[in-house]
Amino acid sequence: MWYFSDEEKELQRLCRDFAEKEIAPFAEKHDTEESFNLAAFKKMGELGILGITADPEYGGAGMGCVAATIVMEEFGKACPGLTLSYLAHSILAVNNIQNNASVEQKQKYLPKLISGEHIGCMGMSEPEYGSDAIGMQTQAKQNGDDYILNGTKMWITNAAYADIAYVYARTGKEKKNLSTFILEKEKNHFTTGNPIHKMGMRSSPTGELIFEDVNVAAEHRVGEEGSSVSHMMANLDIERITIAGISLGVAQACLDHSVKYAGERKQFGKAIGQFQMIQRMIAEMATKTSMMRNTLYNIAYQYDQGERDSIHAAIAKLGIPQMATEVALDAIQVHGGYGYSREFPVERLMRDNKLNEIGAGTNEVMVLIIAKNLLGKFKQ
């Protein structure tokens, strides 16, 4: 993009090279085995990107939403599943702690999360509360100076590998009386349930966080009791922008694979790329991908400039994953029978991307956010 800084351009080159060497060659293996590329994840700590938005004093890169989106795109081309785990760690855990925790909590938790010594996750969704996250029922009841936690968090990326969990819980009867706690596996603050087997994002571990009469010292609470709804909503914006970055990477990878295949695959004595129907599909895929890129990075740039309106994050989250699924389906069509087989990666990319239309707020929730914002402004 024309407005990428020199630092962001260098980050793009660095992540592209890392993805080609450390992520892409193992993506199919981890998808098939439903396993986690822990080795590559740890190397991201050496690369200096596990704290992409965190302050340098804690080991972070001190960069913004554009930079985080660059990482998502470059890694998303290679393995969306591993990239989702990166997002859960760097945006849902590290970025939340960076923005909301006390200095003492940042000093305690961020260095090890940013180095890769510890892996982080976030607990928001529950078995009965997904889109209605504010209705969550996990309870944190005061017990003297401490809290007793009870409940279950569901669909938690990195659950089985997490050392640190950034968890929301109800601390009062009012619906918006939610508080946040930084929980440690080492202190037995949480246990994990069975892994969840998924259609896509199979290389990203997903599971439950379980709290059964867990005693948590008040020093683990983030901010004032009952103050967490605003934190939750603010972080959802950057989560939605950056998860759209994974979809952009999916679309670009599908386009690249399709162009290559159309130039190599021959039917009726010539490359299929010479047929107008194939040319049309590839041209439309390229057009959609270019539109996605320009829209997404413009929204990320606005976010970094302080223009943080949830409608723009919702637009990115609604439009870009949807378009990426369309591009991925066209890529399968270009590849024909091979596209439907596991011999080429386009079927995996399509399966992986579908999750981006569900996680971080479903398409339907994004529609509600956009419509309410626009209609509310019209009414005013």
Q: Which parts of 69-205 are beta strand (E)?
A: 120-123, 139-143, 146-157, 164-170, 178-184, 191-192
Q: How far is CA 107 from CA 7, 54, 188, in A?
A: 26, 12, 21
pLDDT in tens, 176-228: 999 999 999 999 999 999 999 999 999 999 999 999 999 999 999 999 999 99
Q: Is 239 a catalytic residue?
A: yes
Residues recorded for the chain: 380
Answer yes or no: do 89 and 169 share one domain.
no
- Count of structural domains within the chain: 3
Within-domain flag for 1: no
Answer yes or no: do 240 and 271 share one domain.
yes
Domain boundary among 88, 119, 150: 119
Average of pLDDT values for 362-370?
A: 97
Within-domain flag for 49: yes
Within-domain flag for 71: yes
Answer yes or no: do 236 and 280 share one domain.
yes
pLDDT for 260? 98
Answer yes or no: do 17 and 104 share one domain.
yes
Q: Which of 22, 73, 208, 239 is catalytic?
A: 239
pLDDT for 31? 98
The helix/strand/coil state of 64 is: coil
Please give the single-letter amino acid code of residue 129.
Y
pLDDT for 175? 86
Answer yes or no: do 204 and 62 share one domain.
no
What CATH number should be reported for the domain holding residue 243?
1.20.140.10
pTM over 0.95: yes
- Nearby residues of 18 by Cβ (< 8 Å), 6 or more positions away: 43, 44, 47, 74
The string over 319-329, giving b where at least 16 C-beta atoms fall within 10 Å of a residue's C-beta and e elsewhere, is: bbbbbbbbbbb
Answer yes or no: do 98 and 201 share one domain.
no
pLDDT for 1? 73
Of 334, 314, 333, the residue nearest 322 (C-alpha): 314
Report percent pLDDT > 90 for the chain.
96
Within-domain flag for 372: yes
Average of pLDDT values for 283-295?
A: 98
Which range of residues forms the domain containing residue 369? 229-379
Domain boundary among 119, 140, 174: 119
Report percent pLDDT > 70 for the chain.
99
DSSP-H helix ranges across 186-275 = 228-264
Within-domain flag for 209: yes
Residue 379, pLDDT above cutoff 80: no
pLDDT in tens, 240-268: 999 999 999 999 999 999 999 999 999 99
pLDDT in tens, 319-348: 999 999 999 999 999 999 999 999 999 999
- Nearby residues of 38 by Cβ (< 8 Å), 6 or more positions away: 161
What CATH number should be reported for the domain holding residue 20?
1.10.540.10
